[in-house]
Amino acid sequence: MKTNRKIKSLSAAALLSAAFLLLSACGASSENSNANGAETSGASTPNAANSESPAAPASEEASEDTGKTIYLYGNDFVDFIAPKFAEETGFKIEAVHYGGGEALAKIEAEQGNPQWDVLMIDGHGSVRGLANRDFLLTGWRPDNLGSLSTTGASYVPEDLAYFPVGIHASGVIAYNTKLVSEDMAPKTWKEFFAFQGPVGHADPAVAAPAYPLVSALFEQWGVEEAEKKYEQRFKDGLNIYPKNGPVGKALLSGEIQVAALQEHNAYELKLAGEPVEVLWPEEGAPGSLRIVAISKHTKNPAAAKAFVEYMLKPETQRQLTEIESTESFFTPLAEGVAGRSERQQDGKFLLPDAEWAAEHEVEIKTWFADQNVK
């Protein structure tokens, strides 16, 4: 019997990632779900970039360069930026390229003996969760923090646990033009969920940008209402895939007709001449904030801090927009740096509050995992 409740099989690594995330939640104390000990209700994270109040005391670590190699965990750009950083600064660095869920799982697995020094990844909610559990260096104010645009500065948390370097759409609406006419294509998320045909997106427990996608919708609608909308969408035909690459392939094959697809992947298909059109939803696209953070237990804080300073530089972010890859399709957050002209220039982002996204991460990811067994 054919069913529309279809979630593609995950790799062993993906399952391990989900397991670590669930285990980490069980071990986190309830008071750490909110760094300030108070509930939030969708309010923006306090801006520390231009705050007049003194920063919180930095974690007690030595500040001198030890000369040892630092390890950068992350996804997009890490292989490109690590050798440039080493060449320009003289610090030793090794990039370890993971998928988003894999990087978070690796950090969980190493919490008794951390091997990473710097993290650069999509998803401020997940990283907020690490900060709330005391994984990250806090209270240090980079010299280049003033290089951020007004928008970028608004994303800096009060405790300076992480720093934003870019934002892109974790989900635009992409449709197969051979199967869906322009007038029938959904223009809003309400229309996406009401579309009469199979749709799909990436798994929020595996793909780093997919949790920002679903958490933005869950915050916008409320958890209970969002679950109802997804339950109906599963009945009407919703396929969940491990990552955005397979979502794009399913869109081309006709397995799905419309996708909530990360903008990198969507524009890559369109620019390659595939029968794919990209729509920026009228109410906004869920945003995936790329951040950089330092391990509280780094043994070479001087090099780790130098890497953060490097990523906040306008010239560094400009270089990332010039890479001949759709990974460069993002909005830089350094003042005066423009994004790629081929992408939406005036698109609005739906970005969930960091504390809200951190508080509900395990709940939402577990809910999606449970749909696989129904």
pLDDT tens digits for 15-32?
434 444 444 443 333 333
Q: Which amino acid is at 202?
A: A
0.95 cut: is pTM over it?
Answer: no
Is the Cβ–Cβ distance between 262 and 84 less than 8 Å? no
Separation between Cα atoms, residue 334 and residue 313, nearest integer Å: 7
Beta carbons within 8 Å of 335's beta carbon, 6+ residues apart: 147, 148, 149, 152, 314
* Nearest C-alpha neighbor of 241 from the set 209, 266, 211, 207: 207
pLDDT of residue 64: 79
The residue behind tokens 């992480």 is: 162
Separation between Cα atoms, residue 138 and residue 212, nearest integer Å: 23
The residue ranges of the chain whose pLDDT is under 70 are 1-63, 372-374
pLDDT tens digits for 87-126?
999 999 999 998 878 899 999 999 999 999 999 999 999 9
Is the Cβ–Cβ distance between 47 and 57 less than 8 Å? no
